[in-house]
Amino acid sequence: MRFLLLFSRQGKLRLQKWFTALSDHDKKKIIRDVTQMVLARPPKACNFLQWRDLKIVYRRYASLYFCCGLEEEDNELLTLELLHRYVELLDQYFGNVCELDIIFNFEKAYFILDEFVIGGEVQETSKASVAKSMEESDSLQETMEEYVNKPTY
Amino acid sequence: MALKIVKGSIDRMFDKNLQDLVRGIRNHKEDEAKYISTCIDEIKQELKQDNIAVKANAVCKLTYLQMLGYDVSWAAFNIVEVMSSSKFTYKRIGYLAASQCFHEGTDVIMLTTNQIRKDLSSPNQYDTGVALTGLSCFVTPDLARDLANDIMTLMSHTKPYIRKKAVLIMYKVFLKYPESLRPAFPRLKEKLEDPDPGVQSAAVNVICELARRNPKNYLSLAPLFFKLMTSSTNNWVLIKIIKLFGALTPLEPRLGKKLIEPLTNLIHSTSAMSLLYECVNTVIAVLISLSSGMPNHSASIQLCVQKLRILIEDSDQNLKYLGLLAMSKILKTHPKSVQSHKDLILQCLDDKDESIRLRALDLLYGMVSKKNLMEIVKKLMLHVDKAEGTTYRDELLTKIIDICSQSNYQYITNFEWYISILVELTRLEGTRHGHLIASQMLDVAIRVKAIRGFAVAQMATLLDNAHLLTGNTQRNGICEVLYAAAWICGEFSEHLEDPMQTLEAMLRPKVATLPGHIQAVYVQNAAKLFATVLQKHEGETDSQAAQETSQLLIERLPLFVQSANLEVQERASCILQLVKYIQKLQQKNVEVAEEVTALFAGELNPVAPKAQKKVPIPEGLDLDAWINEPPSESESEDEKPKAVFAKEEPKHSRSRHTEVDEKELARRREVRKQEQANNPFYIKASPSSQKVYDAPGVEHIPVVQIDLSVPLKVPGMPMSDQYVKLEEERRQKEKAEKKKKEKKKKREKRGKGRKADSGPESEEDITPAHHVDIVTEEMPENALPSDDDDKDPNDPHKALDIDLDNLLSGTSSRPLADSEKLPVRTHRPEVLKSPAEDRDNESIPQESKKKSSKEKKEKKKDKEKDRKRSKEEKKKKKKHKEVEEEPMESQPEEAIQSEDSKEMAAPPTSAEEVTAPSSAAAVDTSPVAAAESEPDEPKDTEPEDTKSSKHKKKKQKKEKEEKEKKKKKRHHHHHHHHSDGGGEDSVQNGTVEDEEPLPPMSNYSLLAENSYIKMVYDIQGNHQDESKVVVSVIFENKSDSFLKSMEFNVLDSLNSKLQRPEGAGPHDGLTVPFQLPPGVSNEARFVFSVQSIVMPQKLKGTLTFIVKSEESSTHEKLDFKLHFTCTSYLITTPCYSDAYAKLLESGDLKGSSLRLEGVNMPFHHLLARICFHHHFSVVERIDSCASMYSRSIQGHHVCLLVKTSDQTVSIDAKCDEPSLLGNVLDEIKQTFSKC
In angstroms, the separation between the Cα of residue B1141 and the nearest Cα of chain A is: 12
Interchain pair A48, B322: CB under 8 A: yes
Residue of chain B whose Cα is closest to the Cα of A29: B69
Helix B480-491 × helix B452-464 angle, to 10°: 130
Residue of chain B whose Cα is closest to the Cα of A74: B243
Interchain pair A80, B124: CB under 8 A: no
What confidence score (pLDDT) does residue B637 get? 44
- State the best of B14, B205, B361 to mutate against chain A, taking most chain A CBs within 10 Å: B205
Cα within 13 Å of Cα(B940), Cβ side: 18
Tell me what the mean pLDDT of segment B827-844 comes to: 44
Nearest to A61 by CA among A128, A113, A9: A9
- pLDDT of B927 above 50: no
- pLDDT of B459 above 70: yes
Q: pLDDT > 90: what percent of chain A? A: 34
What confidence score (pLDDT) does residue B332 get? 79
Cα within 13 Å of Cα(A128), Cβ side: 1
Interchain pair A140, B102: CB under 8 A: no
Nearest to B853 by CA among B74, B79, B110, B173: B110
The answer, for B389 touching chain A at a CB cutoff of 8 Å, is no
Per-window interface: B 967-1026 vs A, CB < 8 A: none
**DSSP secondary structure letters along B619-681:** TT--TTS-SSPPPPGGGGTTTSPPPSSTTPPPP---GGGTT--HHHHHHHHHHHHHHHHH-TT
DSSP B996: P
Residue of chain B whose Cα is closest to the Cα of A3: B137
Residue of chain B whose Cα is closest to the Cα of A21: B103
- pLDDT per residue over B854-879, tens digit each? 445 455 555 555 555 555 454 455 54
**Model confidence at B644, in pLDDT bands (50, 70, 90)?**
very low
CA distances from B423 to A54, B215, B419, B482 (A): 35, 48, 6, 11
> Among A90-94, A104-108, B620-624, where is mean pLDDT lowest?
B620-624
- pLDDT of A142 above 50: yes
CA distances from B636 to B639, B640, B644, B652, B843 (A): 5, 7, 19, 17, 10
Exposed/middle/buried for B735, CB within 10 Å: 0-12, 13-18, 19+? Answer: middle
Tell me what the mean pLDDT of segment B577-583 comes to: 92
What confidence score (pLDDT) does residue B648 get? 39
Interchain pair A78, B274: CB under 8 A: yes
What confidence score (pLDDT) does residue B454 get? 92
In angstroms, the separation between the Cα of residue A65 and the nearest Cα of chain B is: 16
Write down the mean pLDDT value for chain B.
Answer: 74
Between B1075 and B605, residue with greater pLDDT: B1075
- pLDDT per residue over B714-759, tens digit each? 334 456 667 777 777 777 777 777 666 666 665 555 544 444 444 4
Distance CA A90, CA A96 (A): 8
In angstroms, the separation between the Cα of residue B164 and the nearest Cα of chain A is: 7
Nearest to B896 by CA among B969, B805, B1000: B969
* Identity of the highest mean pLDDT range in B544-558, B751-765, B905-919, B1002-1016: B544-558
Burial B312-329 (b: 16+ CB within 10 A, else e): beeeebbbbbbbbbbbbb
| Start-to-end C-alpha separation, chain A | 43
What confidence score (pLDDT) does residue B634 get? 54
| B140, B109 contact by CB (below 8 A) | yes
Instruction: List all residues 6 or more positions away from B763 whose beta carbon is below 8 Å from its beta carbon.
Output: B369, B370, B371
- pLDDT per residue over B176-202, tens digit each? 999 899 899 989 988 988 888 889 899
- pLDDT per residue over A19-72, tens digit each? 887 888 888 999 999 999 999 888 888 899 888 889 999 999 988 999 999 988
Helix or strand run (H / E) with residue B1190? strand B1185-1192
> Among B170-174, B307-311, B1004-1008, where is mean pLDDT lowest?
B1004-1008
Distance CA B701, CA B475 (A): 43
Q: How many residues would you count in chain B? A: 1235
Helix (H, G, I), strand (E, B) or coil at A5: strand
Interchain pair B126, A114: CB under 8 A: no
Residue in A75, A110, A153 nearest the CB of B239: A75
Residue of chain B whose Cα is closest to the Cα of A18: B137
Helix (H, G, I), strand (E, B) or coil at B551: helix
> Among B542-556, B699-713, B784-798, B1087-1101, where is mean pLDDT lowest?
B699-713
Q: pLDDT > 70: what percent of chain B? A: 69
Residue in A13, A14, A81 nearest the CB of B274: A81
Distance CA B382, CA B372 (A): 16
Interchain pair B164, A73: CB under 8 A: no
- pLDDT of B900 above 80: no
Per-window interface: B 163-222 vs A, CB < 8 A: 164-165, 168-169, 171-172, 198, 201-202, 205-206, 209, 212
- Chain A residues close to B7, C-beta within 8 Å: none
Phi, psi of B989 (to 5 degrees): -120, -30
DSSP B1102: E
Distance CA B534, CA B546 (A): 6
In angstroms, the separation between the Cα of residue A88 and the nearest Cα of chain B is: 17
- pLDDT of B1179 above 90: no
**Model confidence at B886, in pLDDT bands (50, 70, 90)?**
very low
What confidence score (pLDDT) does residue B212 get? 84
Tell me what the mean pLDDT of segment A69-90 comes to: 90
Interchain pair B138, A46: CB under 8 A: no
Interchain pair B161, A133: CB under 8 A: yes
Between B963 and B205, residue with greater pLDDT: B205
Residue in A14, A46, A148 nearest the CB of B353: A46
What confidence score (pLDDT) does residue B632 get? 67
Write a three-state SS string for B379-433. HHHHHHHHCCCHHHHHHHHHHHHHHHHHHHHCCCCCHHHHHHHHHHHCCCCCCCC
Q: Which residues pair with B185 in a beta bridge?
A: none
Helix (H, G, I), strand (E, B) or coil at B103: coil
**DSSP secondary structure letters along A28-89:** HHHHHHHHHHHHTS-TTS-SEEEETTEEEEEEEETTEEEEEEE-TTS-HHHHHHHHHHHHHH
Phi, psi of B414 (to 5 degrees): -135, 105
- pLDDT of B639 above 50: no
- State the best of A17, A33, A78, A134 to mutate against chain B, taking most chain B CBs within 10 Å: A78
- pLDDT of B1201 above 70: yes
Interchain pair A18, B137: CB under 8 A: yes
**Model confidence at A84, in pLDDT bands (50, 70, 90)?**
very high
In angstroms, the separation between the Cα of residue A113 and the nearest Cα of chain B is: 10
Residue in A14, A46, A122 nearest the CB of B321: A46
* Identity of the highest mean pLDDT range in B277-286, B656-665, B990-999: B277-286
Helix (H, G, I), strand (E, B) or coil at B826: coil
Q: pLDDT > 70: what percent of chain A? A: 92
CA distances from B883 to B656, B683, B840, B944 (A): 14, 30, 11, 19
- pLDDT of B8 above 60: no
The answer, for B126 touching chain A at a CB cutoff of 8 Å, is yes
Long-range contacts of B118-124 (CB under 8 A, 24+ apart): B119/B91, B120/B147, B120/B150, B120/B151, B120/B154, B121/B150, B121/B825, B121/B1030, B121/B1032, B121/B1085, B122/B1022, B122/B1024, B123/B1022, B123/B1024, B123/B1025, B123/B1028, B123/B1030, B123/B1087, B124/A140, B124/B88, B124/B1022, B124/B1024, B124/B1025
> Among A102-116, B690-704, B987-1001, B1209-1223, where is mean pLDDT lowest?
B690-704
- Chain B residues close to A28, C-beta within 8 Å: 69
Distance CA B398, CA B589 (A): 52
- Chain A residues close to B51, C-beta within 8 Å: 152
Tell me what the mean pLDDT of segment B931-948 comes to: 43
| B1169, B919 contact by CB (below 8 A) | no
Helix (H, G, I), strand (E, B) or coil at A1: coil
Residue of chain A whose Cα is closest to the Cα of B128: A137
The answer, for B820 touching chain A at a CB cutoff of 8 Å, is no
Angle, CA of B809, B813 and B814, to the nearest 5°: 100
The answer, for B1180 touching chain A at a CB cutoff of 8 Å, is no
Residue B1041: CB atoms within 10 A of its CB come to 19
Between B716 and B326, residue with greater pLDDT: B326
Helix B222-231 × helix B235-248 angle, to 10°: 150
- pLDDT of B885 above 50: no
Interchain pair A119, B171: CB under 8 A: yes
What value does the CA radius of gyration of chain A take, rounded to a whole number of Å? 17
Interchain pair A21, B102: CB under 8 A: yes
Distance CA A74, CA A85 (A): 17
Helix or strand run (H / E) with residue A118? strand A117-118
The answer, for B1196 touching chain A at a CB cutoff of 8 Å, is no
Interchain pair A73, B132: CB under 8 A: no
- pLDDT of B999 above 70: no
**Model confidence at B111, in pLDDT bands (50, 70, 90)?**
confident
ipTM: 0.93
**Model confidence at B1133, in pLDDT bands (50, 70, 90)?**
confident
What confidence score (pLDDT) does residue B938 get? 43
- pLDDT per residue over B124-167, tens digit each? 888 899 999 999 888 899 999 999 999 999 999 999 999 999 99
Helix (H, G, I), strand (E, B) or coil at B778: strand
Q: Identity (one letter) of the amino acid at B851?
A: K
In angstroms, the separation between the Cα of residue B868 and the nearest Cα of chain A is: 41
- Chain A residues close to B140, C-beta within 8 Å: 21
- Chain B residues close to A149, C-beta within 8 Å: 9
What confidence score (pLDDT) does residue B807 get? 58
Phi, psi of B924 (to 5 degrees): -100, 105
| B211, B219 contact by CB (below 8 A) | no
Between B610 and A82, residue with greater pLDDT: A82
Distance CA A64, CA A10 (A): 9
**Model confidence at B328, in pLDDT bands (50, 70, 90)?**
confident
Distance CA B1217, CA B1214 (A): 9
In angstroms, the separation between the Cα of residue A93 and the nearest Cα of chain B is: 18
